Amino acid sequence: MADKEIDRVSGTETTGHEWDGLKELNTPLPRWWLWTFYATIVWAVFYWILMPSWPLVNDYARGIRGQSQRAIVMEQVAALKDMRARTGAALADASLQDIQADPGLLDFAMANGRAAFGDNCAPCHGAGGGGAVGYPNLVDDSWLWGGDPDAIHQTILYGIRSAHEETRFGDMPAFGRDELLDSGQIRSAANYVRSLSGLDTEAGADLAGGEAVYLDNCAVCHGDDGKGMQEVGAPNLTDGIWLYGSDLDTVVHRIRVGGGGVMPPWVDRLDPVTIKSLAVYVHSLGGG
């Protein structure tokens, strides 16, 4: 056996390996590290015996304790489903007013509704319910079809202008496209409508003529005072809230082409408990 070589600088024995004049020192591992390493080996052996660890061809070694994290998780999931089923049954039997009055049911409905809103409603109404052009803002105080919990629930169930036979329906005629009004009458009416909410009108606009056009064609739905009618989803024209925009060109375009947005019915897509939860959550956003 060759004599041991000691490094002159560190005084440590070398391993005999050398690369480009660099010699590897044979520095032993610290005792605490070695004992820790040995302890982990011993612990692993006991773990293999006690706990599931070894894969087999069609199964796995279940260990002496027979513990299964999968089984534990499944039990917890089953318990959670059972709890939700009990609370859901109570929610299904309660009125919307009873839900709002019961802190436990309200917490469950809010959590359930918030999740359902994010999955189903946020793409149109926004994550916070703020809406967008053509999609109603759910956090203001202007509701085309009513903002109390029952009205919201009805809207969610059957939608707006949808294919469901019980849908809410109200359609604005296409006064220009169907040649019910000429372009001059439409522009005068648009200026008059803007004046109802205090917006500026064009210089020289015929507001008197626009009022006459409005009373003959628009007041039947929007009311003589322009306050709107929730029964047919006609918006209030005197506030500062505009679904499609308030500039003159947009108002002219809306009078010309008429129509309205479509909201799908959710009665066949979501269960009754989720729809109730959505009604409670949407009402809580502030606009209710």
Would you say residue 2 has pLDDT above 60? Answer: no
The pLDDT mean for the chain works out to 91
Specify the pLDDT at position 1: 46
Is 74 one of the annotated binding-site residues? no
Is 121 one of the annotated binding-site residues? yes
| Distance separating alpha carbons of residues 109 and 275, to the nearest angstrom | 10
Q: What is the pLDDT of residues 18-53, one digit of tens each?
A: 888 888 888 888 999 999 999 999 999 998 888 888
Q: Which CATH class is domain 183-257?
A: mainly alpha
Beta bridge partners of 229: 234
Is 229 one of the annotated binding-site residues? no
DSSP 87-134: HHHHHHHS-HHHHHH-HHHHHHHHHHHHHHHHHHTHHHH-TTS--BTT
Residue type, 160: I
DSSP, res 8: T
pLDDT classification of 200: cutoffs 50, 70, 90: very high
Q: What is the pLDDT of residues 108-145, one digit of tens each?
A: 999 999 999 999 999 999 999 999 999 999 999 889 99
Would you say residue 13 has pLDDT above 80? Answer: yes
Q: What is the pLDDT of residues 43-89, one digit of tens each?
A: 999 988 888 888 888 888 888 888 888 888 999 999 988 887 888 88
| Distance separating alpha carbons of residues 247 and 193, to the nearest angstrom | 11
pTM for the full predicted model:
0.71
DSSP, res 254: H
Topology of the domain covering 73-166+264-286: Cytochrome Bc1 Complex; Chain D, domain 2 (1.10.760)
Is 221 one of the annotated binding-site residues? yes
Specify the pLDDT at position 32: 96
Is 222 one of the annotated binding-site residues? yes
Specify the pLDDT at position 273: 93
| Domain spans, the chain | 1-67, 73-166+264-286, 183-257
Written as six digits, the tokens of 110 are 């809010």
Is 283 one of the annotated binding-site residues? no
